Chains A and B, each alone.
Chain A
Amino acid sequence: MSRVIHKFTSRIPTWRPHVTPIDYDSATEAQREALKETPSNTRISDYVLVLAHDPESLRIRTSLFNGIMYDKGGLSRQERELGAVAASVVNRCIYCAAVHAHRYNNIVGSEAVMKDIFLRGKDAVLDERTRAILRFGMRLSETPPQVDQDDIQRLRDVGLDDQEILDLTLSTTLFGWANRLMHTLGEPVSGT
């Protein structure tokens, strides 16, 4: 029996779609083309098969996703994952939060930061730089988005340069995008 998960976790749940995924065997040429590259180069998931209803967008989105999260230089990999988690916490996308907390934990080799973020949100007790990044990501994910000169200055104060601020903005806002798909077109469930 699978059950819907409502609490943040770094154990990756199963995603159960509310929209019928396309059937790969009867996919159109455009759909197959769009499915050639997958997010983080994982297997073709139900999520991607749901998005394949709109192949024109999916084809571009996957390249953009992989570039924002993995292209070289600028912001560190773990801090990009932190931006993704900040958005996912505000938008309560349990699935995205789990996947990207898990990636963060693997990179830094500890679960402490994500545990505290899941417990206390923006009030988590973190080092200055991590805390500034989390707060920026969470404020930016509000509607209307909260960002002013002070927000940018707080990032500069903990050492982020323009490139890193841009990269953080890209990963955070990318998850404002991903959360709105993942959290509305399906739900996270335990078991398989």
Chain B
Amino acid sequence: MTHVIEIAANVAADGPLAEALTTRGKLMDLSQASHDAALMPSDPGGVPLALRAALACRMARLCRQAGLEKHYAALLDGYADPAAASLADPQVTPGADETRLAAMVGYVDLVTRSPKEATKADIESLRAAGLEEADIVRLAGLVAFVNYQLRLTAVLSVMGESQ
């Protein structure tokens, strides 16, 4: 299995860090499977694949994680969807007429930057913008997973540099 995290973090093939990752090989496989389920699920529901890749790229930029930004930008390119792709830039926010998209991007930015500030009202905004219960969970799952992956990759890249 090719692991996005180890590639993005540029982890060396041997040494103490590589050994530690081998010890946790099952967990790294499950992390990769979680990536596939969050970014390329067989049932994307109301959160399309291109949008997922764009939002992941946006989160990588908010977290300044160059390795994963590159990975998600490449994934996004493959969909050839310029409207979704524009949202990979954290400076871009959807117009007020795009209620559903604006609510989703608002949630992504808030919950990536400062999850502690999220309240019930943020979930209600998603619902008011037309997201079904399952799509709210899909979006939350995507944001939560990508934030896990970004931080894990950040640590592995720093550890790898010194070995």
Q: Which residue numbers of A lie inside 8 Å of B, CB to CB? A: 18-20, 50-51, 53-54, 56-57, 60-61, 63-64, 67-68, 71, 73-74, 90-93, 140-141, 143-145, 147-149, 151-152, 161-163, 165-167, 169-170, 172-174, 176-181, 183-185, 187
The bracket for how many chain B residues form the interface is 35 or more
Q: Are A143 and B113 in contact (CB under 8 A)?
A: yes
B residues 107-163 near A (Cβ < 8 Å) are: 107, 111-116, 118, 120, 122-124, 133-134, 136-138, 140-141, 143-145, 147-152, 154-156, 158-159, 161-162
Q: Is the CB of A166 within 8 A of B21?
A: yes
Interchain CB contact (< 8 A) of A54 among B31, B134, B152, B155: B134
Residue in chain B with minimal CB distance to A172:
B151
Chain A interface, >50% SS class: helix
Who on chain A is nearest to B146 by CB? A177
Q: Which of A18, A50, A152 gathers most chain B CB within 10 Å?
A: A18
B71 to chain A, nearest CB (A): 17
Q: Give the docked Cα–Cα distance between A178 and B150 (Å).
A: 14
Interface on chain B toward A: helix, strand, loop, or mixed SS?
helix
In the complex, whether B84 has a CB less than 8 A from a CB of chain A is: no
- Given the interface pairs A149-B161, A181-B144, A183-B116, the reply to whether A173 lies near B24 with Cβ below 8 Å is no
The answer to whether B27 and A140 touch across the interface, beta carbons within 8 angstroms, is no
Sorted from nearest, which 5 A-B pairs have the closest CB atoms?
A92-B116, A177-B148, A180-B144, A53-B137, A64-B30
Instruction: Report chain A residues within 8 Å CB of B115.
Output: 91-93, 179-180, 183-184
Chain B residues near A166: list those with CB within 8 A: 17, 20-21, 24, 155-156, 159
